[in-house]
Amino acid sequence: MSRVIVNVMPKPEILDPQGKAVTGALGRLGFNGLSVRQGKRFEIEVDGDVTPEKLAEIEEAAERLLANTVIESFEVVTD
Amino acid sequence: MSRVIVNVMPKPEILDPQGKAVTGALGRLGFNGLSVRQGKRFEIEVDGDVTPEKLAEIEEAAERLLANTVIESFEVVTD
C-alpha cells in the first residue's frame, strides 16, 4: 500500500468563516498573533505503487469530488 | 509572516464515517482501489518568526482547540 495526501483549502479570495471562527476562539484563549485558515486533508491509501497514471486518477478524483473547485484549491502530495 | 501547518486526523482505531463515505463515492464514480481517511488542515499565519516558544504555543492551541485529542491525533509542521 502507498499513500497519497490531498490538501484542500479555501481559495485566498474566498471568505473563510471557519478559519475566522477558529482565529477568534484562539484569541479568546489567549493565543494572540495567529491567523488561521481551515481546510480538509485526505489521506488516500492506494493499492500497489503510485504510478503517474494513478496520480492522474487521484488528481481527477480531487477535481470531481474532494474539492469544490469554484471556492477551493487542492494539491496532491505523494507521501 | 511565517506559516505553520497543523494536520488533524481521526485516530486509526476510530471509525471514520466521512472517509468511508468518500471512499464509497469514489468507487461509484469509477475510482477503484482507493481507501480514504478525511481530516482537517489548518494553515496558521504567525506574526514574526516561528520560534520554539511560538511552536510550543501552537502545539498547545492544537491540543486545546484544533483537535479533539480523544478521537483525533495532530501533527504540527513548519512550512
Whether residue A56 lies within 8 A of chain B, CB to CB, comes out as no
Q: How far apart are the first and last CA of chain A?
A: 11
**Residue A62, pLDDT above cutoff 80:** yes
Confidence class for position A79, pLDDT limits 50, 70, 90: confident
Q: Percentage of chain A with pLDDT > 70?
A: 100
Count Cα atoms within 13 angstroms, Cβ side, for B73: 6
Position B74 scores a pLDDT of 98
Task: Please tell me the distance in Å from A48's CA to the nearest CA on chain B.
Answer: 9
Query: What is the C-alpha separation between B12 and B41, in angstroms, rounded?
Result: 17
Question: How far apart are the C-alpha atoms of B34 and B36, rounded to whole Å?
Answer: 6
Percent of chain A with pLDDT over 90: 90
Do A22 and B43 lie within an 8 Å CB cutoff?
no
Contact residues, chain B, for A39 at CB < 8 Å: 40-43
Break chain B into its structural domains and give their ranges: 2-78
Pick the residue from chain A with its C-alpha nearest to B56: A31
DSSP letter string, B18-31: HHHHHHHHHHHTT-
pLDDT tens-digit series, residues B19-64 = 999 999 999 999 999 999 999 999 999 988 999 999 999 999 999 9
ipTM: 0.92
CATH of region A2-78, choose from 3.40.50.920, 3.30.1280.10, 3.50.50.60, 3.40.228.10: 3.30.1280.10
Q: How confident is the model at residue B70 (pLDDT cuts 50, 70, 90)?
A: very high
- When pLDDT is cut at 50, 70 and 90, the band that residue B79 belongs to is confident
What CA–CA distance (Å, rounded) separates A2 from A15? 35
Residue numbers in A near B75 (CB within 8 A): none
Best A6, A20, A35, A77 residue to mutate vs chain B (most B CBs within 10 Å): A35
Per-residue pLDDT tens digits for A11-40: 999 999 999 999 999 999 999 999 999 999
